[in-house]
Each structure stands twice: as structure tokens, then as C-alpha cells.
Amino acid sequence: MIAPSILSADFAHLADEADAVDNADWLHVDVMDAHFVPNLTLGLPVVQSLRKATALPLDCHLMIDDPDRWAPGYAEAGAANVTFHVEAAHDPVQTARAIRRAGALAGLSVKPGTPLEPYLEVLKEFDTLLVMTVEPGFGGQKFMAEVLPKVRLAREHVRAGHLRLFVEVDGGIADDTIEAAAEAGADVFVAGSAVYGADDPRAAVEALRARARGAMTG
């Protein structure tokens, strides 16, 4: 699945930018609070407005402090998937359950330097694992291939039946990196500048999807 990131879109025309990728699977919404990461983007009111402006499922990635308090509100606002960072959460299991009760899938994200092994048991409470392939906080960064062993580990546990979740990657995903992520076992790909920096965002979505599928079946 391809999830274009509106972090790379024109914030003055978000409804139009969502329409420009209406062939995507999810629309990725980066929420940053200038505390957990050194950048400030958009928050709950914009998500509520986007929900009215597009039929695409909203994939909200919360790069914020205290997600235990704030994450369920994004599910209540109509997000399809709400992901928060394990590094910021005090009680990830209870937060995941609150997100699910509010009607969304629950996602857990790990930064590049955070090992996955300590959270494999916790991940049984989640629907999505988001492996950051850049340091969170800014778009347009270079893909970090050294984190792909975490993707492989997650996929091994899914194949073995220990976990049932989407394995999502976010950061530096483009024509020259998506195949490596797909081969490692990712099945949801967040792409920002590779989509919104293209002359034809819809065509860029299709091209990325084709490359990922080719890598998965090749």
C-alpha cells in the first residue's frame, strides 16, 4: 500500500493535494508538536477538516509528547490508523486499546535507533508497526537502509503467526529505495517528496506501487 505524506504537499491547498493522490491507499498525516521532534506541523483541527475533504483513509503519525493523552482523539476524529511513538508513550498497550475502542487501527512507531526486540510482545496489541527509515521530524531525508533488519524481524514474526499487523516504512521512500524496503518485508510505504515532488503525483503513486509489488513477488 502506498501512503503519500502531506508533509510534502502544499499546506494552503490540502484538499486539492489529497485529490491529486486519490489512487493511493492511505493518506499519511504527520503530526509534530515541536517537543518530541524539533518541528511543528498540523494537529487535530486539520485532521478533522481533511476527513471531510477526502475519502482516503487517514494514516496519522503522531510525533508528539504524551500520546497516551492525545492519540485517541485522532481516532475519534475519523483517522483510519493512528500511530504513536513507543519512545514517547507511558502505557502503549492501554493507548492502543483506547485507539481501537475509538474505531481506528492502532500503530506503534520506532525511531531508527530504537531496537524492536523489547516490543515484540507489546506489538500483539497493535495493527501497524511503523519503522522509521529516517530520523523523525523533517521530510526529504536520506533513506537509512541500516534499519531494514527491524523490518525483516517484524515480517518473520508475522509469517510465523506471532503478530498480525501491517509493516510500514516512513522516510526516504522513492523509486530507488522502495524495492529494498519491500524485499525486507514492508507492505505499507510512506512517500512524501517522491509523490508530491513529481509532475504527476497519481503516476508516481502507481510507479511506486508497481516497484513494491515487483520486489515482493520477485
The secondary structure of 16-82 as a DSSP string is: HHHHTTTTSS-EEEEEEBSSSSS-B---HHHHHHHHHH--SPEEEEEE-S-HHHHHHHHHHTT-SEE
Q: For the chain, state the CA radius of gyration.
A: 16
Q: What is the mean pLDDT of residues 1-10?
A: 94
| % of residues, the chain, pLDDT over 90 | 88
Domains of the chain: 2-217 (3.20.20.70)
5 DSSP 8-state letter: B
Residue 65 burial class via C-beta count within 10 angstroms: exposed 0-12, middle 13-18, buried 19 and up:
middle
Using left for φ > 0, alpha for ψ between -120 and 50, and beta otherwise, residue 136 falls in beta
Mean pLDDT over the full length of the chain:
95
Q: Is 22 assigned a catalytic role? A: no
> What confidence category does residue 138 fall into, taking pLDDT thresholds of 50, 70 and 90?
confident
Q: Per residue in 42-67, pLDDT tens?
A: 889 989 999 999 999 999 999 999 99
Q: Is 30 a catalytic residue?
A: yes
pLDDT tens profile 173-197: 999 999 999 999 999 999 999 999 9
33, 59, 127, 170: the active-site residue: 170
- Which cell numbers hold the place of 20? 491529486
For 33-59, b/e burial (b = at least 16 CB within 10 A) is: beebbeeebbbeebbbebbeebebbbb
pLDDT tens for 96-113 read: 999 999 999 999 999 999
Beta bridge partners of 129: 108, 167
pLDDT of 218 higher than 60: no
User: Rounded distance, CA 101 to CA 48, Å?
Assistant: 18
pLDDT of 11 reads 87
Single out the catalytic residue among 22, 30, 66, 175: 30
- Grid cell, residue 175, equals 523509486
What is the average per-residue pLDDT within 5-14? Answer: 91
Rounded Cα gap, residues 196 and 10, in angstroms: 9
The structure's pTM equals 0.95
